[in-house]
C-alpha cells in the first residue's frame, strides 16, 4: 500500500509472531483505502512491530500478515484506540467475511536480497 516500504517484509530470526488476517471486502470503498493505509502507518509505530506483508486480489479476497516481537506487542496493537475503531468499522461495513489467526513463527527461509543470503532452515 505504501510504495516507500520494502516489497517483502524483512524479519529477524524466529521465534516471533505473525497475525494472519484474511478477508473478503464488501463492494465500494467507503473509506476503506484511507483507513487501510493509516493502519499500516500506525502499526509500524507500535512497540514490537517487525513488518507487514499485504496483498489483495481484484475480486476482493485479501491477506495481510503482520509480524510482531511477542504476544504483548499484539495485545497492545489490538487495544490501540484508533485501531479499535477500525476493527469495529471493518466488522460493520468493510468486510463481508474475515478470519484472524495469531501464530508463532518457528522457522523461516528467504532469498530476499535485502536480508542476506538464503538460509535452509525450512
Q: Which of 27, 58, 79, 81 binds its own copies (CB under 8 A)?
A: 58
Q: Between vectors from CA 23 to CA 79 and to CA 8, what angle results, nearest 5°?
A: 80
Please, what is the minimum distance in Å from the beta carbon of residue 31 to its own copies? 20
**Buried b vs exposed e over 45-81: b needs ≥16 C-beta within 10 Å?**
ebebbbbbbbeeeeeeebebbbbbbeeebbebbeebe
Complex with its own copies: residue 38 or 56, whichever CB lies closer: 56
Give residues with Cβ within 8 angstroms of 37, minimum separation 6: 1, 2
For position 103 contacting its own copies by CB under 8 A, the verdict is: yes
Q: Which of 38, 56, 69, 80 binds its own copies (CB under 8 A)?
A: 56
Please, what is the minimum distance in Å from the beta carbon of residue 22 to its own copies? 5
The window from 29-37, 42-50, 61-69 that contacts its own copies (CB under 8 A) reads 61-69
Helix (H) or strand (E) holding 66: strand 61-68
DSSP 92: I
For position 22 contacting its own copies by CB under 8 A, the verdict is: yes
Please, what is the minimum distance in Å from the beta carbon of residue 81 to its own copies? 18
Give the residue from 72, 55, 99 showing the smallest Cα distance to 16: 72
Give residues in contact with its own copies (CB under 8 A).
7-9, 11, 14, 18, 20, 22-24, 53-58, 61-63, 65, 78, 91, 95, 97-113, 122
Amino acid at each position: 500500500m505504501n510504495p516507500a516500504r520494502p516489497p517483502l517484509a524483512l524479519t529477524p530470526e524466529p521465534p516471533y509472531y505473525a497475525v494472519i488476517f484474511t478477508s473478503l471486502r464488501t463492494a465500494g470503498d467507503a473509506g476503506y483505502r484511507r483507513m487501510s493505509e493509516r493502519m499500516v502507518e500506525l502499526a509500524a509505530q507500535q512497540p514490537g512491530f517487525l513488518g507487514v506483508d499485504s496483498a489483495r486480489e481484484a475480486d476482493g479476497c485479501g491477506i495481510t500478515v503482520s509480524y510482531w516481537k511477542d504476544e504483548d506487542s499484539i495485545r497492545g496493537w489490538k487495544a490501540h484506540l484508533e485501531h479499535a475503531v477500525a476493527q469495529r468499522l471493518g466488522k460493520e461495513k468493510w468486510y463481508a467475511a474475515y478470519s484472524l489467526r495469531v501464530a508463532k513463527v518457528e522457522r523461516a527461509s528467504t532469498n530476499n536480497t535485502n536480508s542476506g543470503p538464503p538460509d535452509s532452515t525450512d
